[in-house]
Amino acid sequence: MGVSVESVRLTQTEKTYSVLKKAILRGEIEEGVFLSESDIMHRYRIGRTPYREACNRLLHEGLLEAVPRRGYLVPEVSYQAVNAIFETRLILEAANAELACVRATVQDLDELERLAGRPSQSGDPEKDFIGLIQANTDFHLRLAKTTRNRELVELLTRNLEKTERLMHIELRSSRFRQNEFQFLHTRIVGALRTRDPQRAREAVLEDISEAQRTTLSFGKNWLAPAPHH
């Protein structure tokens, strides 16, 4: 049975979406920059139709903005946006922590403990930083999955993607903490093992609140002011 043209197009769109999303989250396409259709198509070797369909999807996710007669813009991150991201994450992960105390299996907790360990260092600062960001995402998503609640996992996935973008921006500013993940994540696992929802909640909130303080403290160098309405 042959592969339909529609299936091929959808596959190309998915690949294009994935490539562009990663480029935006990692800062390869910087905030405040308009996408040049021809440049993007040449740089990532993608076609016009998949490019436009992928951009439309990223538009709905808030990673792009459409400006009449100008095209797609990677929006700058404002203090207001950062606060909204972290407020949402605090709410979601507090719920995750409490449910995890009840629903996480011993195997879940052992896997979280493994993920809490700091990733090996390669000697390449940028590569190591990307690995640290991925390790942080993996840990928090794995925690969410222990709740067995698909809606929570999907909501947190979207939120963590925005957090990843902040972390990559901070990498360019050389202002990101690198030595606290292991301690804070290990503390979360220890709290979960006690099966005490309040203790687990507090450990998770400390981790996220510390990231929020760091981002806002050093973000003066790169955060855009909140838009005026």
What would the pLDDT profile of 167-178 be if each residue is shown by its tens digit?
A: 877 666 555 555
Specify the range with the lowest mean pLDDT, choosing from 162-176, 187-201, 204-218.
162-176
Q: Where do the domains of the chain lie?
A: 5-73, 79-221
pLDDT at position 3 over 50: no
CATH assignment of 79-221, among 2.40.50.500, 1.20.120.530, 2.60.40.10, 3.20.20.70: 1.20.120.530
CA distance 12 to 127: 27
Give the pLDDT confidence score for residue 5 in this predicted structure.
46
User: Which helix H or strand E contains 5, and what residues bound it?
Assistant: helix 5-25
Q: How many CB atoms are closer than 10 A to CB 1?
A: 3
Give the pLDDT confidence score for residue 1 in this predicted structure.
46
pLDDT at position 223 over 80: no
Q: Can you give the pTM of this predicted structure? A: 0.77
**Dihedral sign for Cα atoms in the order 28, 10, 158, 142:** negative
Residue 98, both tokens: 């409490």
Which amino acid type is present at position 146? T
pLDDT at position 220 over 80: no
Give the pLDDT confidence score for residue 87 in this predicted structure.
95
Q: Which whole number is the average pLDDT over 107-133?
A: 84
In the chain, DSSP assigns E strands to 65-67, 71-73
What contacts 187, CB < 8 A, 6 or more positions away?
A: 203, 206, 207
CATH assignment of 5-73, among 3.10.129.10, 1.10.10.10, 3.40.50.2000, 1.10.3720.10: 1.10.10.10
Which residue in 61, 208, 212, 63 sits closest to 136, CA to CA? 208
Give the pLDDT confidence score for residue 28 in this predicted structure.
85
Instruction: Determine what percent of the chain is predicted with pLDDT higher than 70.
Output: 85
∠ CA(139), CA(141), CA(144), 5° rounding?
110
Residue 198, both tokens: 């309040």
Tell me the pLDDT tens digit for each residue of 29-86.
Answer: 888 899 999 999 999 888 999 999 999 999 998 889 999 989 999 988 888 888 899 9
CA distance 176 to 164: 12
Instruction: Determine what percent of the chain is predicted with pLDDT higher than 90.
Output: 52
Give the pLDDT confidence score for residue 177 in this predicted structure.
56
Q: Where are the alpha helices (DSSP H) in the chain?
A: 5-25, 37-44, 48-60, 79-103, 106-116, 125-145, 150-173, 181-193, 197-218
